[in-house]
A = this chain, B = another copy of it.
Amino acid sequence: MEYRKIKSQENEEDNLHNDVEDPRERLLSVVSPQQHNMSGAKEQSKWKLKSIVTIALTLLTSSQAILIVWSKRAGKYEYSVTTANFSVEALKCALSLLALARIWNKDGVTEDNTLKTTIDEVIVYPIPAALYLVKNLLQYYIFAYVDAPSYQILKNFNIISTGVLYRIILKRKLSEVQWAAFALLCAGCTTAQLNCSSDSVLQTPLQGWIMAIVMAFLSGFAGVYTEAIIKKRPSRNINVQNFWLYVFGMVFNVMAIFIQDFDAVMNKGFFHGYSLITICMILNHALSGIAVSMVMKYANNIVKVYSTSVAMLLTAVVSMFLFQFHLSLAFFLGSTVVSVSVYLHSIGKLQR
**Interface residues of A, Cβ cutoff 8 Å to B:** 153, 176-177, 180, 183-184, 187-188, 190-191, 194, 196, 198-199, 201-202, 328-330, 333-334, 336-337, 340, 343-344, 347, 351-352
Contacts and interface: CB of A to CB of B under 8 A. Distances in A.
Contacts of A176: 347
Contacts of A329: 153, 190, 194, 198-199, 201-202
Nearest to A334: B191
A176 B177 CA distance: 11
Given A351-B351, A352-B351, A183 B330 contact: no
Interface core residue of A196, A333, A351 (most chain B CB under 10 Å): A333
A3 B12 CA distance: 55
30 contacts: A153-B329, A176-B347, A177-B177, A177-B351, A180-B340, A180-B343, A183-B336, A184-B184, A184-B337, A184-B340, A187-B333, A187-B336, A187-B340, A188-B337, A190-B329, A191-B191, A191-B330, A191-B333, A191-B334, A191-B337, A194-B329, A194-B330, A198-B330, A199-B328, A201-B329, A202-B328, A202-B329, A337-B337, A351-B351, A351-B352
Total identical chains: 2
Nearest to A344: B180
Given A176-B347, A184-B184, A187-B340, 8 more contacts: A180-B343, A180-B344, A183-B336, A188-B337, A194-B194, A196-B196, A344-B344, A351-B351
A178 to B, nearest CB: 11
A177 to B, nearest CB: 6
A174 to B, nearest CB: 14
Given A328-B199, A351-B352, A333 B180 contact: no
Contacts of A183: 336, 340
A340 B186 CA distance: 12
A107 to B, nearest CB: 45
A189 to B, nearest CB: 10
Contacts of A188: 337
Contacts of A199: 328-329
A55 to B, nearest CB: 23
Nearest to A350: B352
A58 to B, nearest CB: 22
Contact of A347 (B153, B177, B340, B343): B177
Contacts of A343: 180
A159 to B, nearest CB: 13
A344 B180 CA distance: 7
A27 B324 CA distance: 54
